[in-house]
Structures are given as C-alpha cells and as structure tokens.
Chains A and B, each alone.
Chain A
Amino acid sequence: MLSHKYMVISVYIALLSCVLTIVFFFRNNLEIIFTTGKFPLITNLKFNLNEFIHAFNQDNTPHQVFLRYFIALVSLFIIICFISINVLFILLILRRLIKFDKEKKDALKIEHIQKLIIQYLYSDKSAYAIDQLRRQQKQIVVDQLLALYVSIVGNKARMVRELFFSLKLDEYVYMRCNNYYWHVRVKYMDIASIMKIERVKNIAQRYMHSSNSLMRTCAIKAYLNLDSEHSFDYLHRFKKYITEWNQINLYNLIVKQSLSVPSFYQFLSSDNPTVVCFALKMIQLHIQTERRREVLQLLLHKDTAVRKEVVITIKVLYIKEAVPLLMANYKTESELVQFEIIRTLAKLDTEESTLFLINLLNVDDFKFRMEIIKNISLTYRKRILTEFESNKEIVAIVKHVSDKRIMF
C-alpha cells in the first residue's frame, strides 16, 4: 500500500510544482489578470528570460504579441520539465532509501511478533505474550495471526482465533471494515470473513450491491461466510451482473468453506439472467436433481446464455424427456446453443436423438460434423462410416476422433 501512497504523492508533487511555477511566473500579474481579465504583456513578467525576449518587444504587432505568449508558455514548460526531472530523481532515490529502511524495521517487528505468538502457543508464558502483543502494531499482528490461522488446523488454530479475539483485534478489523477507502474495506472484510467476526455481517450486507465490482464480490463472500442461514438469499433481489469471474469466486467459496448449499432451483425465476445462469451452473456442479423438470421451462428463455446453460444442465442431469424439445428448438437456435444441443443429444443417446444427429451430418459444415462425430457414442461411428463412406471429410473426421493420440 505504501507504494500507492508514494505514487499519489509524486503525482501531487508534480502537480504542485506546476502550480507553484505558474504562481511564480505570474506572481506580479495575478492581480491584473483577475481584475481586468486580460493577460499582461510578457514584458511585465519578472523572469530571467526578459533580456532574451527583449528582441521581440520592439513592437506590438499581433505576430510579436503571439510570439511573446508562445515564449512564455514554452518557458513555463521548460521549468515544469526541469522541476519534474529533479523531483522525480530525488523522489525515486528517497523512496529506495525509505523502503529499504522500512523493510528492515518491518522484518524485525514481524520476527518479534512471531516469537510472541509462538510463546503464546507453545510455552507457559502466554499471559506475558498476550500483554506484549497488545503493545505491537495491530496491522502487523492481524496479518501474522491470519497467515498462521489459514495454514494450521485443529487445536492450535482454535487458540490462534482465541488470541485474535482476546487482543480485541476483532474491534480493530470491524473499524477498518468501515474505512473510507474501498481497498481498506476489502482487505479487512476478507479478514473478518476468515476469522468469522459476525458483526461485520451488517457492513457486508451494506456493500453487497456496491457499484464497485471488487467491493461487491468481497462483501458477498464475507456475507456468505458469516451468515450461513440466509447465505444465498441475496440472489432473489440481486440486480447487478454476476460475471463469470464472480461465479468462479462464489463456487470456490462454497467448496473451500464447505458452505451449506441451498436448492438453486429457487433462483431460476429471477429477472436477472446472470443469476439464472449462476443457479443453473450450481445445479450442474452440485447435481441437484429434485426439481429437474423445471429446467425445461427455461428452454425458451429470451437470453442466449441462459438457454445455453439450460441445455448443458439437461445433459448433466440426464433429462431424457427433453429430447423432442431440443430437436424442435435446434433450427431456430444460435450457433452457440446448437453446439450444446448436439453435445446434449449425443449424451442422452436415445434412438431418435442419434438419428437426428446422423441426419445432421448431411449439412456441409465441418464444425458441426466434427462436434457430432466427436460426441456420438462409439457404437454409431461404424454406422456413420458405412453410410458416408464416399464423403472424404466425414471419413477423415471419424479417423481423427478415433485416434487416441489426438483425442486423449
């Protein structure tokens, strides 16, 4: 975070140097500018280049006046560049020195804190260790305890959590979760979520609909972790876009934190297509079969991405009743969904679906032929070879998909 501060400071310094230069440049003329609204002639400026520009001050033709302003502007740029070069050089060198010094000090502090934590965990001087830890920089103690907590399990992990609360670091984290800066909130909300600081739940709830995608994801993750009862209820009223990245994060959280998984069928009626997509993906990944016929109603959903996920769900849940619907919808679907229908029909492997797919091989399109032959059951490949023996492309594709070096 330090580097960000420096970067912001450097930009401010650069801007400040520009402002100072301008003020210096016009210091005697500001009054005239503000009172008359006119810029004074360059001859009025107290500046070392006066002698040089004297040559241009012989008359007041528009050309000469223009030149004078031009020189003033370029002089200003020269000064800004000169100051920038010097400031940047000093800033970079100073930063290196400060950073080096800070890294050394931080390393010593971390070492000391780690020793105290080990004392607390493994020796009989735990009261002394707690007392000493209270005097340390809270941010570093939090970081160290968290790092240890996520890497151990069992009794020691429980002790670390107890230590965290006995040092009242939960209050510190709670306070930081309310910080003005979003990146601070994100960091500490994550910590609260891992350390299960339940009262942060309310703050997380507040930011679950934030326009900042990262803040939103983090708040959702924290909320899911801290409120297992109503964990996914927010999806009912969720209006924002759940990107694929958000979905990956959420799924990872479910798996890692072993969250209780609700029936995702309840979200299939959402107005938000991204919520429906996410619910369908979760139904697939958790193989939730209890209300599987409800999925079929979404085959005519207006959103292509939803329809694609529905077809995949039919494949995963092995809903054979869907075959006639899929075949009927095939022609009107987008190419993206058509590919999924082919894969699903091949997987469902009914007599009529296979016949439908073999018929589709007559359409002269390599991509579709490849997809059909790749997915169709092995028993039908021979039949395809005999039926289409004169079609070089189909024969080549069958050879391709039958080669184990290619199709591993």
Chain B
Amino acid sequence: MNTVTYILNFAIMIYSLSICLYYVFLGLVSAFHLIAYKKSNSFVDHNLLLSSPMAPGISIIAPAYNESKTIVDNINALLSLHYGIFEVIVVNDGSKDDSLEKVIKEYELEKVDFAVNYQLKTKEIRSVYRSTNKAYRFLTLIDKENGGKADSLNAGLNISQYDYFVAIDVDSVIEPDALLKMIKPFLESTDKKVIATGGAIYIANSCKIENGQIIDIEVPRNMLARFQVLEYTRAFLMGRIAWSRLNGLLLVSGALGLFDKNVAINCGGYYSQTVGEDMELVVRMRRYMYDRKEKHSVRYIPDPLCWTEVPTTLRMLGRQRNRWTRGTMDTLWIHRKLFFNPKYGRLGMVGYPFWFFFEWLAPIIEFSGFCYLIVLILLGSINCYFFLFLLAFAYLFSVAFSFYSILYEEFTYHKYRRVEQIYRLFFTSLIEPISYHFLNVWWALTGNISFLKGEKTWGAMDRKGFNSKE
C-alpha cells in the first residue's frame, strides 16, 4: 500500500512540477516574442496594403444561425473593414428566426443563378443572393440547410473567389485593421509558407459598442466574464504567442482566423463531424503540409483584432467548455497518429504531446487528485502542514501567472486604461484559483464524459447581445 501511495505521490508531483515549468517556459518565450513584435511593428505601415495593386484578395466567411438581433450591424461592420480587395460571404445556416429576411431587405438582395463549385461536400445550398445595389457588391448571402458551423464554412469556401479566406463568428466585433495585420505574415513568408494566422481575442462584455465598433473598453461587470478576461489574456498573450514562436500551434480560434484557401481545400476543408472544427482544420492543414514535406508555419498576432461576447451564466459557460473539451478530444483522437511521430516534426514531437498532457489530461489528473485527497483525509493519512504548504504554492503560482499576463497586456496593448480596471483584474486574479478554476475542471471532466457518450451537439447559446446590462 505504501509503495503504491509513494508512486502515486511521486507521479503527481512530477506532473505538477512539469506543468508549472511548462507555463513558466511559455511565459518567458512570449515575453521575448512580444518585445520583438512590438519593436518591429511600431515601424510598420499596414495601410500600404490599402492602395497597393499587389495586395491579395481575401474572402470573409461568416456563418450565421439565428443571429437576427445583431446580423445587420455585424454585416455593416464587416463591409466597412479596412482592406482593398475583399468579399463578405454570409452563410445563413438554416436559421429559424428572420435573419435571412432581414439581410435580404437591408441589402436589397436578389436570388441569382450562382454556379457553385462543390469541391467540398456540404448540406444543400437552397439559394445564393447578390445585391442589386452596387454599394453592396462585395456581399454574397448563401441560404442553406442547417449543417453546423463547419458545414457553413465549407459552403462559403465553395463559392469564395480569393486565395485567402477569413473564418469568423458573425457575432464578433472585428477591429477595422484586422485584415491588414493578419495578411502581413503571409506576405512576409519566405521558403516557409504561412498557412494560417490568428489574432488575440478580447472580451467585449460591458464594453460600449456602436455600429459594430468598440467605443469604450471596460472590464466586465459580471464575475464569470471577468474570470474569462484573465483566462483569455493568459491563453493569447502567454500561450499561443509562445507556441507561434515555437511553430507548434495547433489552434487558430474559430472567432477569427485567416487561412490559405488552397491548402484548406486540398486537405478536405472543415470537418463537419466535430464540434472543434477550428482546431481540427489547423492540425489537418499542418499534417497535410508535413505529408508533402513542405516547410510551413502557423502564426499568431498578439494585436487585439477581435472582440467577442462570452457566456455570463454557469449553464452557458458550462456548455461552451463542455464543447471545447469534446472538440479537443475529437481532434486528438482523429490525429492520434501524430503522437510522438518524428515524421510530423515539432507538431508531432512537441505540439501534440504538450496539448495531450497539459491541456487535455490536466483537468482529469487534477480531479483525480481531489478524489485522492478526500480518500487520504478520510483515512487520516494526510499531513496537514504539508498539504497547506503545497496548496500555498499552487495558489501563489496561479496568482503570479495571472499577474504576469496582466503585466504583458499592460506593456503591450494597454487596452484597460483606467487604474481601477487594473485593480479589478488583480482582485479577480486573487480569487480565480479558489473559485472559477474548480468550475473549469468540472466542465472539462463532464466534457470528457460527454465525448465518451458520443455527444456531438453544439448546444444552444443564448447571446445577450452587446451593450446589454448583465
């Protein structure tokens, strides 16, 4: 019995220490990358692309399902993005509300005989609409049977005309210069082809938004949303930036990502049988490039390019996290061949194993740890001082890590300008490890159970809409 306990203790200890070191390592890599990025980008004039005849065209694909409340404002914001050559493709994924009618009326759309190239299989496209008004000549509306986000994106890809495409959530607010910043890494690529770029995503809850633009930035009043501010800041400014630097990124967020269309189509487009289509596509695109022995990279831009509304109730947040976990598991399972496979370079030897051990496995081990702790307490085999000592470490490490992410935000984009906003974030960092974190572990665990049960649904997400009082 003692030997078993000893081995278990030892394994958990090694795992915990490695996870801490992993986060410290990512934090350091991000810090140096952010400094270099900020330095170099302060001299870059992205507006050059606006007037350049050499700028490539971009297709923006925005799937929409029951977005009637905000769809017109959001399309207006997309049409006014700062970029020279682009088209906006809105895909109505069989909405049950009046989204379709609203868009048709607002933009003077008519059914057209659009010859669709069905290079990616999708649910039936009922009709394609184009405007009679030349002011909206960049807009195309697809009306199709409901098939989910991945299916809608594939339908959009089938009718898109440019070499690059942006996949976005139609309910997100995109910064006006987002396309200019996201296309730059593609134009800078040398012998290593850039196949996808993503940008940092900020939380728009409690922010003031007018005509699809952020007017005033505020830390969310709702505590759950505020916890997510910290979570997103850590994930984007410390995690993904570092992985981008190490060329081991497995994920470009579904809210905003720019992709090389040819690579995406050649590897089969979005996989509609998963709820984690964003991660799955990136992994598949990378796998495709490795199989063809082509040097490539996936880049992340630290600039805040997209603002999104996050769930503010336990029920909604729980559903979202459950879905994220299922998506991760799906991708890890589909691409299990990558696991420590040297053929897939950093993706197989570093990116995938890290994601497996520290993203997917972490909540499971943590939950098992809690259960183990309860057993030890019941058996009276716990050293109280030792327990408190380790607990203090876990708590302080977690707070310090959040503080560092606030520091990174402060020194880079400085979006939260008022001192009281920083105080609020500090306070949230202090209570997050002893409250929100446990919920996250629980949702991740239930996500695993749902995956094993074979659940494939997205679950309804009620959006409160921007500018609503939480």
Measured CB to CB, the residues of A under 8 A from B are 1, 3-4, 6-8, 10-11, 49, 52, 55, 63, 70-71, 74, 77-78, 80-82, 84-85, 88-89, 91-93, 95-96, 183, 186-187, 190, 213-214, 218, 241, 243-245, 247-249, 251-252, 281, 285, 366-367, 370, 393, 396-397, 399-400, 403, 405-406, 408
Contacts and interface: CB of A to CB of B under 8 A. Distances in A.
Given A8-B35, A81-B396, A71 B389 contact: yes
B115 A397 contact: yes
Interface stretch (B72-80, B128-136, B292-300, B461-469): B128-136
B88 interface: no
B113 A396 contact: yes
B378 interface: no
Contacts of B52: 248, 251-252
A63 B113 contact: no
A403 B112 contact: yes
Given A248-B48, A400-B114, A74 B188 contact: no
A281 B54 contact: yes
B387 interface: no
Given A82-B396, A186-B43, A241-B191, A4 B35 contact: yes
A408 B190 contact: no
Given A81-B399, A187-B43, A403-B113, A245 B20 contact: no
Contact of A183 (B43, B187, B385, B426): B43
A95 B112 contact: no
Contacts of A186: 43
B40 A214 contact: yes
Nearest to B118: A366
Contact of B130 (A6, A80, A248, A406): A406
Nearest to A393: B115
15 contacts: A3-B414, A4-B35, A7-B412, A10-B407, A49-B389, A74-B390, A85-B396, A89-B426, A92-B410, A183-B39, A190-B43, A248-B54, A252-B48, A405-B112, A408-B137
Nearest to B425: A92
Chain B interface, DSSP helix/strand/loop, else mixed: helix
B233 to A, nearest CB: 14
Nearest to B408: A7
B1 interface: no
Given A4-B35, A85-B396, A190-B43, A405 B410 contact: no
Contacts of B48: 248-249, 252
A55 B6 CA distance: 18
A252 B53 CA distance: 10
B114 A243 contact: no
Q: Shortest 4 CB-CB distances between A and B: which pairs?
A: A81-B396, A400-B115, A7-B411, A245-B187
A403 B110 CA distance: 12
A186 B44 CA distance: 11
A93 B134 CA distance: 52
Contact of B54 (A82, A213, A244): A244
A74 B43 contact: no
A241 B190 contact: yes
B20 A95 contact: no
A281 B39 CA distance: 30
Nearest to A241: B190
Contacts of A397: 115
B119 interface: yes
Contacts of B123: none
B292 to A, nearest CB: 13
A158 B44 CA distance: 27
Contacts, number: 139
B434 interface: no
Contact of B393 (A8, A74, A281): A74
Given A49-B389, A244-B54, A251-B52, 19 more contacts: A4-B35, A4-B411, A7-B35, A81-B396, A84-B400, A88-B400, A88-B407, A93-B419, A214-B40, A243-B190, A244-B186, A244-B187, A245-B187, A248-B52, A252-B51, A281-B54, A399-B113, A405-B130, A406-B112
A84 B403 contact: yes
B130 A92 contact: no
A36 B48 CA distance: 63
Most buried by B among A89, A92, A96, A400: A92
Contacts of B90: none
A66 B51 CA distance: 66
A326 B404 CA distance: 59
Contacts of A78: 389, 392-393, 396
Interface in B53-67: 53-55
A367 B265 CA distance: 13
B43 A214 contact: yes
Interface string B383-403: 101000110110011011001
A369 to B, nearest CB: 9
B467 to A, nearest CB: 28
B110 A92 contact: no
Contact of B422 (A77, A96, A252, A370): A96
Contacts of B132: 405
B157 interface: no
B404 A84 contact: yes
Given A4-B35, A77-B20, A405-B130, A70 B13 contact: yes
Contacts of A7: 31, 34-35, 407, 411-412
A399 B128 CA distance: 14
B394 to A, nearest CB: 10
Nearest to A67: B386
Interface in B409-434: 410-412, 414, 419, 422, 426
Most buried by A among B48, B51, B113, B426: B113
Contact of A74 (B49, B389, B419): B389
A3 B411 contact: yes
B389 A52 contact: yes
A243 B389 contact: no
Contact of A63 (B6, B53, B110, B414): B6
B113 A4 contact: no
A74 B17 CA distance: 9
B420 to A, nearest CB: 11
B160 to A, nearest CB: 12
Given A243-B190, A370-B115, A405-B130, A88 B411 contact: no
A77 B393 contact: yes
Contact of B31 (A11, A245, A370, A399): A11
Contacts of A243: 187-190
B403 A96 contact: no
A52 to B, nearest CB: 6
Contacts of B18: none
A218 B190 CA distance: 18
Interface in B174-195: 184, 186-191
Nearest to A403: B112
Contacts of B426: 89
B91 interface: no
Contacts of A70: 13
Nearest to B32: A11
A74 B132 CA distance: 69
Nearest to B423: A93
Contacts of B190: 241, 243
Nearest to A284: B53
B370 to A, nearest CB: 19
B89 interface: no
Nearest to A73: B17
Contacts of B412: 3, 7
Contacts of A1: 42
Contacts of A4: 35, 38-39, 411
B117 interface: yes
